[in-house]
């Protein structure tokens, strides 16, 4: 049995607030990502997606559980292994302009990770690599000495992608990388990421609240709700037949261009009502029960286990094919 590139084991994250309250951001999250896969991570705002990303990047310390890289548990106190991990795992951020230092030229921005993590290459080779990367993401080499404010949002995100690629990572964590862009530009960035993933044999974690974007890029999808995994499945199967009521709710929010098809589709899907509960006071039992159209007494009392159902994992007492 092959060792996954990345594995998250029983991960929980709690934050103690100044008010004395405890915010439960993640609870018992476990999944594996094999090399070369794109895993989509979806859910509404406040479901724990960004906390999960920061924990994987070792920017947040988990309350319990572990993150494993190539079969080895990460040790934040081991400087040597953490430096190697920083080089192997890079990130693309949500707001492309805010993610770039306005006082640095584009060339310097792309070179910065190399100077920090691969200084042995030498300044000339690093500068040449930065130029090649800008061209690889669709920008002209003459843009090397310009500043971020001189670029559009889509161009800034291309610069962020070039920076993430600079140290030749194995995995790139994409945290809502297209949500701040126009719809027409979103498609271009998604296509660029798909091309780069195939050409460079990258592994991607693609975090989004937009399931239509995730569908275009991911081989598998993990659905988060209030810090817990609700469903994990192959992308095509999940979109064709979602088993968890929350997954069905998210899919119901994806509009179709044809109004007749849209009405027919919505007529077949039961949509949960209400708003996301506060993670400061999560519901008992199944955390989705306050919005679930098929709620029963057991849902209010018992937390459903994430269990194998056919070709996927589902955390629902009544989920079945």
Counting Cα atoms < 13 Å in the Cβ hemisphere of 11 gives 29
Q: How many domains does the chain have?
A: 2
49-107 pLDDT, tens digit per residue, is 999 999 999 999 999 999 999 999 999 889 989 999 999 999 999 888 888 999 999 99
225 lies in some domain: no
Give the domain extent around 262: 240-321
Domain membership flag for residue 234: no
Same domain for 272 and 126: no
With contact defined as beta carbons under 8 Å apart, do 166 and 110 qualify? Answer: yes
Q: Which residues pair with 66 in a beta bridge?
A: 9
The answer to whether residue 31 sits within a structural domain is yes
Q: Do 214 and 254 belong together in one domain?
A: no
Clarify whether residues 193 and 281 are in a common domain. Answer: no
Q: Is 49 part of a structural domain of the chain?
A: yes
pLDDT band at 273 (very low <50, low <70, confident <90, very high): low
CB within 8 Å of 185: residues ≥ 6 apart: 152, 153, 154, 178
Same domain, 189 and 244: no
- Please tell me whether residues 146 and 212 are part of one structural domain: yes
**Same domain, yes or no, for 134 and 43?**
yes
Q: Are residues 178 and 292 located together in one domain of the fold? A: no
Q: Is the pLDDT confidence value at 144 over 90? A: no
For residue 11, pLDDT beyond 70: yes
At 136 the pLDDT is: 94
Q: Are residues 174 and 319 in the same domain?
A: no
Is residue 46 one of the residues assigned to a domain?
yes
Q: Is residue 98 exposed (0-12), middle (13-18) or buried (19+ Cβ within 10 Å)?
A: exposed
Same domain? 70 vs 209 = yes
Handedness of CA 256, 261, 265, 266 (dihedral sign): positive
* pLDDT tens figures, 298-309: 999 999 999 999
Q: Cα–Cα distance between 202 and 217 in angstroms, integer?
A: 13
């Amino acid at each position: 049995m092959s060792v996954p590139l990345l594995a998250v084991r029983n991960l929980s994250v709690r934050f103690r607030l100044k008010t004395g309250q405890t915010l439960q951001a993640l609870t018992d999250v476990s999944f594996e990502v094999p090399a070369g896969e794109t895993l989509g991570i979806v859910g509404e705002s406040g479901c724990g997606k960004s906390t999960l990303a920061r924990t994987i990047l070792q920017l947040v310390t988990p309350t319990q559980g572990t993150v494993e890289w190539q079969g080895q548990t990460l040790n934040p106190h081991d400087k040597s292994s953490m430096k190697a991990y920083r080089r192997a795992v890079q990130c693309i951020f949500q707001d492309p302009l805010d993610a770039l230092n306005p006082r640095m030229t584009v060339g310097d921005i792309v070179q910065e990770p190399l100077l920090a993590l691969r200084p042995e290459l030498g300044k000339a080779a690093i500068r040449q690599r930065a130029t090649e990367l800008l061209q690889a993401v669709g920008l002209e080499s003459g843009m090397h000495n310009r500043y971020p404010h001189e670029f559009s949002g889509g161009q800034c995100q291309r610069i962020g992608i070039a920076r993430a690629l600079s140290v030749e990572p194995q995995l790139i964590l994409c945290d809502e990388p297209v949500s701040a862009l126009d719809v027409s530009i979103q498609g271009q960035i998604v296509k660029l990421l798909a091309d780069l993933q195939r050409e460079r044999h990258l592994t991607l974690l693609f975090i989004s609240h937009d399931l239509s974007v995730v569908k275009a890029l991911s081989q598998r999808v993990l659905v988060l709700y209030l810090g817990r995994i609700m469903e994990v499945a192959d992308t095509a199967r999940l979109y064709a037949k979602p088993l968890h009521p929350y997954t069905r709710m998210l899919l119901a929010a994806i509009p179709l261009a044809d109004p007749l098809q849209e009405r027919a589709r919505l007529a077949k899907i039961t949509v949960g009502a209400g708003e996301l509960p506060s993670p400061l006071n999560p519901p008992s039992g199944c955390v989705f029960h306050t919005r679930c159209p098929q709620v029963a007494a057991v849902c209010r009392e018992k937390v459903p286990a994430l269990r194998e159902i056919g070709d996927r994992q589902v955390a629902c007492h009544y989920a079945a094919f």
